[in-house]
Amino acid sequence: MTKKQLNFEKSLQRLETIVSEMENTDVDLDKALSLFAEGVELVKFCSSKLDETKKKIEIITSSGEIKTFKEGINS
Of 52, 44, 53, 46, residue with least CA distance to 12: 46
In a domain, 65, yes or no: no
Structural domain contains residue 71: no
Domain span at 23: 8-60
pLDDT computed for residue 64 by the predictor: 66
Q: What is the pTM of this model?
A: 0.72
In a domain, 29, yes or no: yes
From first to last of its 75 residues, the chain has per-residue pLDDT tens of 555 567 999 999 999 999 999 998 899 999 999 999 999 999 999 999 999 999 988 888 887 666 565 555 554
Q: How many domains does the chain contain in total?
A: 1
Residue 68 belongs to a domain: no
1 falls within a domain: no
pLDDT of residue 75: 45
Cα–Cα nearest to 50, from 12, 5, 4: 12
